[in-house]
Amino acid sequence: SENYNAMWTDLGLDLEAHDMLLNVLGQAYQDIYLAQENRPEGMGYFDFVMSEVHGLRIKELMDEKAIGRKIIGSYCVFVPEEIVLAANATLVGLCSGADFATEDVERLLPRNTCALIKSSFGFKVGKVCPYLESADMIVGENTCDGKKKSYETLGGMVDNLYVMDLPQVKSENGKALLKAEYQRFKAAVEDLTGVAVTAGSLKTAIQTVNAKRAALHRLFTLRRADPAPISGLDALLANQVFFYDNPERFTDSVNKICDELEKRIESKQGVFAEKTPRILVSGCPQAVPNWKLPMIVETAGAVIVGEESCVGERGTRNLTDESGETVEEMIDAIVDRYFMVDCAIFTPNPDRLAHIEQMVADYRADGVIHYGLQFCQPYLMESIPVETALEEKQIPCLRIETDYSMEDVGQLKTRVEAFVEQL
Ligand code: BJ8
């Protein structure tokens, strides 16, 4: 890490606090990831990415900035990467999955704010996130009340916050709002980079992002096999790195893993034994380094075979139509694509339930664990009708409400074990 100290200092990080974070992260990675057995060799790439997540990748971003490219940070899968890439910028995810500087955060936000929002603030207040500090533009969005209102406070803490309005209803008006907001965003990004989006650059960007998603689709499909060729922990990591990595390199790396998994499936080689109970996780996003639930599930005798989550299939399942010829046509295709994201901030939100049921069938899941972050109104509210609907179809469902702390791990483990037992 010595090599990067100058870069981190230039970014304004608090080196001491940052070292502490990296130590905790490194230890967690060791205990949770490297302790797994029968991992695909291709995961070595992701081990490397994680060991360099604040190092080499940041250095790459700084090199991009040095030649005039801009970095844009986002907290939500509604921020269209296609537009960002087409205007000569790089998109990185800023959602955070670990508690940091909680006491300071609770002076800025009510205690009953979800862990994801608190964590994002903690990383800012604690000066420990090089992605946040390297971003030339930070995009907030009007989704849940927690995020929407917290951006008002964040706006006073950073000088480059852009807030995107988002619809809450899947109506014609809702779609028109999304389109107007994507056009406004396109203009803002073009203004930031000084590069106009062209039909050519937008087409290439659509293809680049679709290729990333398609590689994940391939990975998802392979997870249908029994025995499961890859753990839920490792698959989650790929879904998490999706938000940070260089797009082309990410696509290649995931495809390489898929080549390996195909061979594993052929020879019936799995990470866990055949007939291990299969779990679908559904609910709130699990941002790096939030590996708590899969760690609990996969040390409780089950395997996770899918994530109905924004860090998972909800975020990546739809592709953008690539056939448009003009910028206008392609923006329409982008709007169509993102308008299908069934986040719980939408009301009503029947597509999400349909997707959960579809995933249960596709991945041959024996049960669903609904993952809700404490104080997350949209997902916790929705978890009750989801559970009811699943149980009507004889699909066992366990609703979990938790945060990022490790205090309830023992208790959760007991509940998950009891759930797995009855599958
Ligand atoms: S499209 S899921 S990434 S908003 S956990 S902050 S909802 S109180 S994250 Fe999300 Fe976009 Fe929707 Fe996806 Fe609020 Fe809930 Fe916290 Fe959440």
Pocket test for ligand 1, best of 373, 375, 383, 403 (most atoms within 8 A of CB): 373
Q: What is the mean pLDDT of residues 262-282?
A: 97
pLDDT above 60 (res 96): yes
- Report how far ligand 1's centroid is from the alpha carbon of 147 (Å): 8
Average pLDDT over the chain reads 97
| Ligand 1 lined by 311 (C-beta under 6 Å) | no
> Which helix or strand (DSSP H or E) is residue 161 part of?
strand 161-164
Q: How do residues 146-177 score in pLDDT, each as one tens digit?
A: 999 999 999 999 999 999 999 999 999 999 99
Percent of the chain with pLDDT over 90: 99
pLDDT above 90 (res 1): no
Residue with tokens 């034994």: 273
- Cβ atoms of 244 and 53 within 8 Å: the answer is yes
For residues 267 and 40, give the distance between their C-alpha atoms in angstroms, rounded to a whole number.
13
| Ligand 1 lined by 330 (C-beta under 6 Å) | no
- Report how far ligand 1's centroid is from the alpha carbon of 144 (Å): 6
| Ligand 1 lined by 281 (C-beta under 6 Å) | no
Q: What is the mean pLDDT of residues 391-419?
A: 98
* Ligand 1 atom at shortest distance from the alpha carbon of 116: 16
| Ligand 1 lined by 376 (C-beta under 6 Å) | yes
| Ligand 1 lined by 220 (C-beta under 6 Å) | no
Distance from the Cα of residue 57 to its chain's centroid:
17
- Report how far ligand 1's centroid is from the alpha carbon of 327 (Å): 29
Q: What is the mean pLDDT of residues 83-102?
A: 96
* Ligand 1 atom at shortest distance from the alpha carbon of 310: 13
For residue 280, the number of C-alpha atoms closer than 13 Å in the C-beta half-sphere is 28
Q: What is the mean pLDDT of residues 3-28?
A: 95
Whole-number pLDDT of residue 3:
84
- Cβ atoms of 365 and 352 within 8 Å: the answer is no
Reported ipTM: the value is: 0.97
DSSP string for residues in 2-71: GGGHHHHHHTT--HHHHHHHHHHHHHHIIIIIIT-SS--TTHHHHHHHHHTTTTHHHHHHHHHHHTT-EE
For residues 287 and 241, give the distance between their C-alpha atoms in angstroms, rounded to a whole number.
9
DSSP string for residues in 192-203: HHS----HHHHH
What are the φ/ψ torsions at residue 59 (nearest 5 degrees)? -60, -40
pLDDT above 60 (res 410): yes
For residues 337 and 181, give the distance between their C-alpha atoms in angstroms, rounded to a whole number.
14
Model confidence band, residue 95 (pLDDT cutoffs 50, 70, 90) = confident
For residues 378 and 383, give the distance between their C-alpha atoms in angstroms, rounded to a whole number.
9
Q: Which residues of 246-278 are buried (b: 16+ CB within 10 A; e: fewer)?
A: ebeebbebbbebbebbeebbeeeebbbeeebbb
Percent of the chain with pLDDT over 70: 100
Model confidence band, residue 94 (pLDDT cutoffs 50, 70, 90) = very high
For residues 11 and 354, give the distance between their C-alpha atoms in angstroms, rounded to a whole number.
44
| Ligand 1 lined by 166 (C-beta under 6 Å) | no
Q: How do residues 226-248 score in pLDDT, each as one tens digit?
A: 999 999 999 999 999 999 999 99
Dihedral sign computed on CA atoms, order 190, 195, 201, 207: negative
| Ligand 1 lined by 379 (C-beta under 6 Å) | yes
| Ligand 1 lined by 76 (C-beta under 6 Å) | yes
pLDDT above 70 (res 2): no
For the chain, how many residues are written? 423
Whole-number pLDDT of residue 176:
98
